[in-house]
A = this chain, B = another copy of it.
């Protein structure tokens, strides 16, 4: 036991700061594992458990789920933007279009959490949403180029990409680890349906405003009914 001597200027700040930094990193790493395994449905409490910190500590670092999601998926969102940018470099616009869809859907298949992130909007996560918007602008360019060559059906709407990602998330989530390659087949079917000439007309695209609201609402926290006890 060390004698308790009052210290005139306790070096308290430095260790606290590096403890805090370690905790922050530990929480992000834990959230990455939990979201990749369970999707964004995973609760803040289960992230805290995985990180081995108290819920209060977690909430001090990330007061809202959107803050944690933004921190965990910043690099994935960058990679997603890169996938679109790479596609724009492809001199064949149809290959660019289909290659982008395959790459982005593969990113969904690799991470349940990211599968949800691609179809959920977090308005308070400014940096994440800015990246998403940049990717969107590039995607519209990709779509216009593919249409100009006549390979992409004329009635393809940018919102169809969102629907494709929602459909892929459904397959990825439902087939899981038991049949992990299933998404490739449904995505290939969807890509084939995009090819001109179209086999027929399609029902109208959802209104973009409505789809945006859906992307807000589809935040799993809004859909799930957290249970205080069991989930038998």
Q: Which residues of A contact B (CB under 8 A)?
A: 34, 38-39, 41-46, 55, 59, 64-65, 119-120, 160, 163-164, 166-171, 173-179, 181-182, 184-186, 188-190, 192-195, 198-200, 202-207, 210-211, 213-218, 221, 223-232
Q: A182-B211, A193-B192 are in contact. Are A46 and B225 (CB under 8 A)?
A: yes
Alpha-carbon gap, A220 to B135, bound state (A): 32
A224 contacts B231, C-beta separation under 8 Å: yes
Nearest-Cβ distance from residue A173 to partner chain B, whole angstroms: 7
What is the minimal beta-carbon distance from A190 to any residue of chain B, in angstroms? Answer: 6
- Which listed residue, B55, B163, B231, touches A182 by the CB 8 Å rule? B163
**For A213, what are the chain B residues with a Cβ–Cβ distance below 8 Å?**
178-179
Contact call B160/A166, Cβ cutoff below 8 A: no
Contact present for B218 and A173 (CB under 8 Å): yes
